[in-house]
Amino acid sequence: MTTTLTGSPVSPGRAAGVVVTMPEPVPEPPTTRLHAHEADAAVEAVRTASTAVQKRLVDRADRARGTAADVLSVTAAMAGDPTLASDAERRVREDLVTPARAVWDAAGSLAAQLEQLGPPLAERARDVRDVRDRIVAELTGARPPGVPEPGHPFVLVAEDLAPADTATLDPETVLGIVTSGGGPTSHTAILARSLGIPAVVAVAGAGDLRDGETVLLDGGSGSVVRDPDPDAVAAAQHRDTARRELQGPGRTADGVPVELMANVADPDGARAAAEAGAEGVGLFRTEFCFLGRAAEPSVAEQVSAYRRVLAAFPGRRVVVRTLDAGADKPLGFVTADDEPNPALGVRGLRTAVGHPDVLDRQLQAIAEAAAAEEAEVWVMAPMVATPAEARDFVAACAKHGLEQAGVMVEVPAAALRARWIFEHAAFGSLGTNDLIQYAMAADRVLGELATLSTPWQPAVLELVRATCEGAAAHGRPVGVCGEAAADPALAPVLVGLGVSSLSMTPRALGDVAAVLGATTSEECAELARLACEQPDAESARAAVRGRLAALLDELAL
């Protein structure tokens, strides 16, 4: 019997396929004692299992590409490191514990040693535990951890995906993702969008889905249909084969330009964005240069890293965001690790109060990189809350000859006081991920709050409108660089509210362009009015999607 589950739609598109669930965590093996005469066979079992796991990881790394290949190679190298296996063998002989228990204990001790060494080695502790689980699964017959490899395309069902799992997702075989946890700005959601995999998160009842059943999910509307109609399955499978490319610059049906830009986080991402036809970079997150480091990278190192990103966009705009440390991106040398409420703490531009030199050196590096490359460089600061902060940031940029200095608008206070902020800032970029978090007082990573954490909240849309109106008073452009920009049904609403550029994962560019290209600017304004007059997010979304139904259906979004 056909039944429909609902959740938060986070990555558009329809997908149909067989469910494969993420394996349960590998259970801790009991401490069972061996007889002395069993020790040799147990030692041999540890060796055989370690070798088998390492070989499998190397094979997978060879077949994978990009980040997945990197992640799997690191795990394979860890599995091949003799430290773990030899300590486990010693434990088998000395403590007479089972091979699985010995591996568990050996990994626990190695992970603890790594954690004591602090970053970046502490991060390897996670790899050690991953290898531990794989070897223990090999020894006990449990399902190995990580994204399953059933040998055919499937819809992945999980509670939520850890960053290490998402890195190995292969969009060729993972047709869609359904999770019971996670929110619209969770790691799973962001990655699904960047890979173009349709996804619905925070689905009530997802825990009841069973391996082998067929589901049809709609990452645009948030539905997951169990036992769907075979014709609908065939249609979704057919549509899935056609990917939409970006054709030329973004514009509405009546020719009003809407710049379609990319969010990038490193040089590889910048190259991929340029290949996808992005008109420029609307958000270059510079954290990649800093995260996982015990000390600030030198100016020279920063210049070379930034140049590699700028080089992908000669003659086009790249909006460089200064360091956004704090909250979910702690950085030992600028943020405290004992704040009781880090999302409301010293993060983003606020770190420059205690560490003005770090910002100054970063601006110097950005200016040097800009001078050496042909991209048109704009600079913006994260987490600006007051006009004074905007003024001081613009002045700090001017000292380095960086004239196009703007702000991210991701704090409601900045949106409400936009008229004063844009007396100083040359442009604005709405960071809707944080703007939603602060407007709705809802932690952006909590799945339980997914219904609050959506850009369709009329309160959030009103803040977008207030920002655009305040900026327009000074003739300043405003874009959106939060995840909201990648929702093709929301794009015309944002344009109708006054936004003139949208920056997103390159995978979403084609879909957003297709919807905008079929909607006039007058229709965009009408859709914005329609959304804002709804009482809540769900009805705003339903009203706009209803108005665009024929188009979204034609585009399978």
Chain contacts with ligand PEP (rule: CB under 6 A) = 283, 285, 324, 410, 431-434, 481-482
Q: What, of ligand PEP, Mg ion, none, does residue 424 touch, CB below 5 to 8 Å by kind? A: none
Alpha carbon distance 11, 512 (integer Å): 12
From the list 160-168, 352-360, 423-431, 536-544, the region that binds Mg ion by CB under 5 A is 423-431
130 marked ligand binding residue:
no
Which helix (H) or strand (E) segment is 15 a member of? strand 14-21
Q: What, of ligand PEP, Mg ion, none, does residue 481 touch, CB below 5 to 8 Å by kind? A: ligand PEP
Give all strands (DSSP E) within 193-350, no chain letters.
199-201, 214-218, 223-226, 259-264, 281-285, 317-321
SS3 content of the chain, % helix, strand, coil (to 5): 50, 15, 35
Alpha carbon distance 363, 369 (integer Å): 10
141: left (phi over 0), alpha (psi -120 to 50) or beta: left
Q: What, of Mg ion, ligand PEP, none, does residue 368 touch, CB below 5 to 8 Å by kind? A: none
Q: What, of Mg ion, ligand PEP, none, does residue 244 touch, CB below 5 to 8 Å by kind? A: none
Single-letter code of the amino acid located at 59: D
Listed in sequence order, the residues at least 6 apart from 164 whose beta carbon sits closer than 8 Å to its beta carbon are: 71, 126, 130, 146
Could you tell me the sign of the dihedral formed by the alpha carbons of 121, 125, 127, 131, in that order?
A: positive
Asked about 187 being catalytic, the answer comes back as: yes
From the list 112-120, 278-286, 412-420, 434-442, the region that binds Mg ion by CB under 5 A is 434-442
Measured from the CB atom, is 410 or 523 closer to Mg ion? 410
Measured from the CB atom, is 54 or 429 closer to ligand PEP? 429
Could you tell me the sign of the dihedral formed by the alpha carbons of 362, 367, 372, 377, in that order?
A: positive
Min separation Cβ 311 and ligand PEP, Å: 23
Q: Which of 434, 483, 487, 511 binds Mg ion (CB under 5 A)?
A: 434
Asked about 152 being catalytic, the answer comes back as: no
Min separation Cβ 285 and ligand PEP, Å: 6
Measured from the CB atom, is 158 or 283 closer to ligand PEP? 283
Single-letter code of the amino acid located at 405: A
Q: Which of 145, 228, 406, 431 binds Mg ion (CB under 5 A)?
A: 431
Min separation Cβ 190 and ligand PEP, Å: 8
Listed in sequence order, the residues at least 6 apart from 300 whose beta carbon sits closer than 8 Å to its beta carbon are: none
Contact 261, 527 (CB under 8 A): no
Q: Which of 289, 397, 468, 481 is catalytic?
A: 481
From the list 38-46, 137-145, 412-420, 433-441, the region that binds Mg ion by CB under 5 A is 433-441
507 marked ligand binding residue:
no
The CB density around residue 110, as the number of other CB atoms within 10 Å, is 22
Min separation Cβ 87 and Mg ion, Å: 42
Measured from the CB atom, is 43 or 385 closer to Mg ion? 385
From the list 5-13, 385-393, 425-433, 467-475, the region that binds Mg ion by CB under 5 A is 425-433
What are 310's two structure tokens? 């700028």
66: left (phi over 0), alpha (psi -120 to 50) or beta: left
Measured from the CB atom, is 442 or 552 closer to ligand PEP? 442
533 marked ligand binding residue:
no
433 marked ligand binding residue:
yes
The size of the interface with Mg ion (CB under 5 A), counted in residues, is 3
Q: Which of 187, 355, 400, 424 is catalytic?
A: 187
Point out which residues pair with 223 in neighbouring strands: 6, 218
Q: What, of Mg ion, ligand PEP, none, does residue 285 touch, CB below 5 to 8 Å by kind? A: ligand PEP
Alpha carbon distance 554, 546 (integer Å): 13
DSSP secondary structure, 141-166, as one string: TPPPSSS---SS-EEEEES---HHHH
Q: Which of 130, 218, 373, 410 binds Mg ion (CB under 5 A)?
A: 410
Contact 258, 520 (CB under 8 A): no
Min separation Cβ 293 and ligand PEP, Å: 18
Measured from the CB atom, is 215 or 418 closer to ligand PEP? 418
Q: β-strands 214-218, 223-226: how paired? A: antiparallel
Q: What, of ligand PEP, Mg ion, none, does residue 432 touch, CB below 5 to 8 Å by kind? A: ligand PEP
Min separation Cβ 324 and Mg ion, Å: 6
Q: List, as residue ranges, the binding site for phosphoenolpyruvate.
A: 285, 321, 433-434, 444
Binding site for Mg ion (CB under 5 A): 410, 431, 434
Q: List, as residue ranges, the binding site.
A: 285, 321, 410, 433-434, 444
Which active-site residues does the annotation give? 187, 481
